[in-house]
Amino acid sequence: MDIESIDWIKLQKMAGYHSIRPTVYHVLKGQTIQYTAGAPDAFVKELHRIAVSKTLLQQQMALETERLLILLEQQSIAVFPYKGAILSKILYASSNLREWSDLDLFVPRKFAKAALKTLLDDGYQFAQEETNHAYNSDTNFLDKLLFENGWHEIGLSKSQENSLPFQLDFHWQLCEDFYPYTINENDIITGAQKFKLVDSEVIVPSIEHIFLMTLLHHGGRESWMRLKYICDLSLFIKLFPDNLFWERILSLCDTAKLKRSLLLGCFCVQKYLNVALPAILESKVKSYGERNTRNILKSWENSVSFWESMSAQLIHKRILLSHQDEKFSPFNYWIKYMEFYSTPNPMEQPRLRTFNKKYKIANFFSKVVTYVWLKGFR
């Protein structure tokens, strides 16, 4: 390894953005490197500190995820672990290699109000203080939040004694309404199975639906803009090499309108991680070509979340709009996008100005101007 050529500050930034710091530490500590004075030794020590703290926190979060699943299941509420805890358990030989920072639960919409009320009674609070005030003063607040504003998730938080608070993303829909993706909630419920998450058995989606839900987030909504997502996909491919499994996945992706998202991710796994694909994926990826990889590489290199930067937003939109399945209409996407963001949401920061609901275009541009103001000028 050529130590002199590494930009350690940039590597530290990239490892943080891509949420792969424990993996980077695991790789570096196994190398016989004679570190020069300065950055390298300090860098590895910092990675070690982060890896240890993340391991301890993730163990607590996995136990808390399991507790909440049991709590809600006891009340006959359908609830499923999403992303962090379940992916770490299924995919990684050592669960502390996958970095994750919050709990994720998916509750189908018809169970959402009962589940959210249970979590609030359990000590969780809305992440924003003004939302807690609204909830305590408005008896219909949960109905407005869950059913009127078109959102799909909210952030909750719960304090812990002598530790960081738990951060929980509560999902009652798998993505915003303007995305073209469709996953049937009833299929997730009927295909659910028992699985030992930490100490107890809980109900989780089938492995095919765990994959599909992960694909919707990693490849659909976020367009493979983090290396952690590519690592997850590569492990799915290594752990499930059977063509029959991928035939089922491709069929589900056809219905969910996620096939091109899958092929783009498989192309990256094959090209950049040198992972062999099952034959059924290999044949389809060959015809897919290198579309979007330049923009994906640019996003990896820039290491800036598309929620935080206008330029990262543009890169994300280019990738997103150019790898959708057949019959996708960019025009319809933008119309739905504008309608979605024209309606103020109780969880967002107040806009500079809010107009009457019928003035959708004005409210949308108010959202855009507020975003630019908060990110660039405040």
The series of mean pLDDT values per 10 residues for the chain, 378 residues long, is 73 91 81 52 83 88 96 97 94 85 94 96 88 82 83 90 87 94 94 95 97 97 95 96 95 96 94 94 79 85 84 90 93 93 79 84 85 66
CA distances from 21 to 12, 32, 283, 363 (A): 8, 19, 34, 40
Predicted pLDDT at 238: 95
Helix runs in the chain, H state only: 8-17, 21-29, 39-73, 84-91, 109-121, 129-137, 141-143, 185-190, 207-215, 227-239, 243-256, 259-273, 279-286, 293-302, 310-322, 330-342, 360-372
Tokens of 186: 């009833």
Predicted pLDDT at 378: 45
Predicted pLDDT at 37: 43
Taking the C-alpha atoms of residue 114 and residue 60, their distance in angstroms, rounded to an integer, is 25
In order, the DSSP letters of 10-59 are HHHHHHHHTT-HHHHHHHHHTS---PPTTHHHHHHHHHHHHHHHHHHHHH
Q: Are residues 156 and 126 in contact, defined by beta-carbon separation less than 8 angstroms? A: yes
150-159 residue pLDDT tens: 789 999 999 9
Residue 199: Cβ within 10 Å count: 9
Q: Are residues 268 and 194 in contact, defined by beta-carbon separation less than 8 angstroms? A: no
Q: Using only the alpha carbons of the chain, give its radius of gyration.
A: 21
Residue 154: Cβ within 10 Å count: 21
Phi first, then psi: what are they for 193, rounded to 5°? -145, 165
pTM for the full predicted model: 0.91
Taking the C-alpha atoms of residue 269 and residue 212, their distance in angstroms, rounded to an integer, is 17
Helix runs in 191-226, H state only: 207-215
263-301 residue pLDDT tens: 999 999 999 999 999 999 998 987 666 767 888 998 999
| Dihedral angle, C-alpha 25, 219, 370, 148, nearest 10 ° | -120
Taking the C-alpha atoms of residue 311 and residue 304, their distance in angstroms, rounded to an integer, is 9
6-47 residue pLDDT tens: 788 888 899 999 999 988 888 877 665 554 444 567 778 888
Counting beta carbons within 10 angstroms of the beta carbon of residue 136, is it exposed (0 to 12), middle (13 to 18) or buried (19 or more)? exposed
